[in-house]
Structure 1
Amino acid sequence: MNDIPTKRKVVEAASALFYQKGFHGTSVRDIAEKASVNVSSISYYFKGKQGLLEFAVSNYYEEYLSIIETTLEESIELDALESLKNLIYKIIQYKHMNLQLSCFIHRELSMDSVFVREMAVTYLAKENYIIGNAFSALFKNKTEDKSKPDRQYLLMQLKGMLVTPYILHNEWRSQIVGEYSHSLFIKRYVQTICNWLDYIAR
């Protein structure tokens, strides 16, 4: 049995079920049936459902953080605004490509749990640091304009926009049919955030 395709199949099945039924509402047998594998395979590869969750989330965030770090490195020659716009596109694109797992993770992050605290220490702190630095660079050579909202609140708004489609996915999901529609949603949603950035960076 080839390990990588089997593990991927199990993770994809688990992501879909966690998204639909929640972690506690999903059994190992449910995952095995959806992935067309033996229950024993899940124990072998992941040491059970909790191990599978940790593997899926760790994989998700490690790939995500790698992509956003690479995006910033590749944008080094751009000004701060264009660099941040590139970063936002990559973030939304990645979350959308992993839609069900993104929705499940963001739903879990809205609650206080051991899972959330572990994610905060391991991954979210790094994400916040990267996004915070990219956002702060917009104002590097500008004096604080007292007529504009506090920059910390603006950063909070930006972070909110990056997670909103994956917390309120029922608001837009019924309008999306097929791969092209998803691509269009990414393009339009990112453009909306970029228009907001153009306004606050003036």
Structure 2
Amino acid sequence: MKKNPTKQKVIDAASSLFFQNGFHGTSVRDIADKATVNVSLISYYFKSKQGLLEHAVTQYYEAYLKAIETSIAENESASPLDRLKKMVEAIIQYKQSNHQFTCFVHRELSLDSIFVREMTVTYLAKENYFISNTFSAIFSKNKKYNQQSQFLLMQLKGMLITPYILQNEWKNQVVGDYSHNQFAKNYAKSIADWLDYIVQQNEE
């Protein structure tokens, strides 16, 4: 389905402002001014600021999960380790290409707010299913892994969100599309190197 460009402009403006000022620190007027649209247009499209947030989060997560599913399908014949590496690449590339909204979402997740419970529980459960199953397939026959699987999986999940919890560590050094793309590639490579290391350790 083709996106409505004006509607998307409002979502993009809201994403930027939510990232900078937080949800409660952003008004509908702020969003309208940044998007250069009339306030009434936001009410027409989304009913309210909360409705705009819900729409933006739904759009973000549906595209995010689609990126993961596409990666799984495209690498179905690869080894479990390579499938996971490709999934990590897809996850980091998606998060980095939407880095402002990603940072905002992860900041909200850390607060365990109503926003989290009502808007992301289904998406997070599906994300966890994809990551956990792909990760576990690497070590399915390794008893040593089974003794520490929970901790290794926790570490992987932590690495996938760390840049978007600690964005101040890199945001001033990453400017422009090319720079963001390189950051995503380099960061995904660092996770791939860690995966190679833990696989090697569990094979010894």
Equivalent residue number for residue 80 of structure 2: 80
Amino acid across the alignment from 2:167: H
Equivalent residue number for residue 25 of structure 2: 25
Q: Post-superposition shift, 1:177?
A: 2.4
Q: Deviations over 1:13-48 (max 9, x none)?
A: 000000000000000000000001000000000011
- After superposing the two structures, state which structure 1 stretch, 13-22 or 111-120, moved more: 111-120
Equivalent residue number for residue 188 of structure 1: 186
Amino acid across the alignment from 1:41: L
Aligned residues: 199
1:151 lines up with 2:149 in the alignment: yes
CA contact (8 A) 2:84 2:135 kept: yes
CA contact (8 A) 2:139 2:145 kept: no
Unaligned runs of 5+ in 1: none
Equivalent residue runs for 1:1-202 within 5 Å: 4-144=4-144, 150-202=148-200
Q: Post-superposition shift, 1:120?
A: 4.2
CA contact (8 A) 2:107 2:165 kept: yes
Q: RMSD of the TM alignment (CA)?
A: 1.5
Cα distance between partner residues in 1 of 2:27 and 2:159 = 33
Cα distance between partner residues in 2 of 1:162 and 1:194 = 11
Q: Percent sequence identity over matched residues?
A: 62
With the length of structure 2 as denominator, give the TM-score of the two structures. Answer: 0.94
Q: Post-superposition shift, 1:179?
A: 2.0
Amino acid across the alignment from 1:198: D
Unaligned runs of 5+ in 2: none
Q: Post-superposition shift, 1:54?
A: 0.1
Amino acid across the alignment from 1:183: N
